[in-house]
Structure 1
Amino acid sequence: MKVIGLDVGSKTIGIAVSDALGLTAQGLTTINWHEENIYSADEHLKQIIEEHAIGKAVIGLPKHMNGTIGERGEASKVYAAHVEAIHKIPAVLWDERLTTAAAERVLLEADMSRKKRKKVIDKMAAVMILQSYLDQKT
């Protein structure tokens, strides 16, 4: 069963998918969306779920360094419930502390320009969230 990883921000959703065996995560795309309209990414996400035969979603749960959940974390919980209801697949919330910072570091080490980094940072964070989840499962 393939798994989709989502890094949900207020303007974009980074997307990664696993291989069929659930061993590796690959960055797929970034969807632009409007957080105030929770349905705005549904059609694009539905296409990806169908095309890749996705059976589960792993959604990044941003936590503060002390483990508490703030406004962004609450928004991720709402989105996870939305994904389950609309797309009919289970959603797992996964601690994403420092994934965006780690993704930024990887892209900087690759000597990627700021403009290019901005385009792929959310997708890279989704890869890190999903890969962390997959690694824990093995």
Structure 2
Amino acid sequence: MSLISALGLDIGSKRIGVAGCDGLGLLATGLTTIQRSYFVKDLEQLRSLVVERQATILVVGLPYLANGEIGSQAKQIQKLAQRFSKALNLPIEYVDERLTSYEAEELIKAERGFPSRNKSLIDRKAAAIILQQWLNMRKKVAKT
């Protein structure tokens, strides 16, 4: 099994939830939430995480429409993700992130026994779900 270091990103208009995985690519964990300000500042925060975790790929959640197509919100996220990818010189892969924020809120509720109003925590957890979906897809492909 090869080692992997991926960063999962849940990109929103106000925050970017960031997740990382263990070296074997088995488990994704929420790392931090970047409060978005302007591209260069957001990029620098991402860059320090890439360096610290020796990331080799970015995995970005895309909010597909119910019919499976890419809408305007997803196109904006793709545009920003591609700018990050180019600036960081890292490849990028996309994962369908529909319902990940809802799933994150449900997980937090199950862990704590009550819902969270902490949007940063929800974004981090959503990024971990996005990254975990990608890791699980990689495992399935490796088995076939």
How far apart, in 1, do the equivalents of 2:26 and 2:138 lie?
Answer: 9
Which stretches of structure 1, 4 residues or longer, exceed 4 Å deviation after superposition?
A: none
2:142 paired residue number: none
Instruction: Report matched runs for 1:64-75 at 5 Å.
Output: 64-75=65-76
Matched-pair identity in % = 36
Query: How many angstroms apart in 2 are the aligned matches of 1:23 and 1:38?
Result: 31
List runs of 5+ in structure 1 lacking aligned partners: none
Q: Which whole-Å CA distance do the structure 2 matches of 1:15 and 1:30 have between them? A: 6
> Partners in 2 of 1:78 and 1:119 — Cα distance?
22
Q: CA deviation at 1:71?
A: 2.0
Report if the CA contact (8 A) 2:8-2:127 is conserved.
yes
1:64 shift after superposition:
1.3
How many residues are paired up?
135
Q: TM-score, normalised by structure 2?
A: 0.88
Within 2, Cα distance between the matches of 1:112 and 1:40? 34
* Root-mean-square deviation over aligned CA pairs: 1.3
Please say if 1:93 is aligned against 2:66. no
Supply the distance in 1 between the matched residues of 2:40 and 2:70 (Cα, whole angstroms): 23
What amino acid is aligned across from residue 119 of structure 2 in structure 1?
K
Structure 2 unaligned regions, length at least 5: 140-144
Residue in structure 2 matched with residue 114 of structure 1 by the alignment: 116
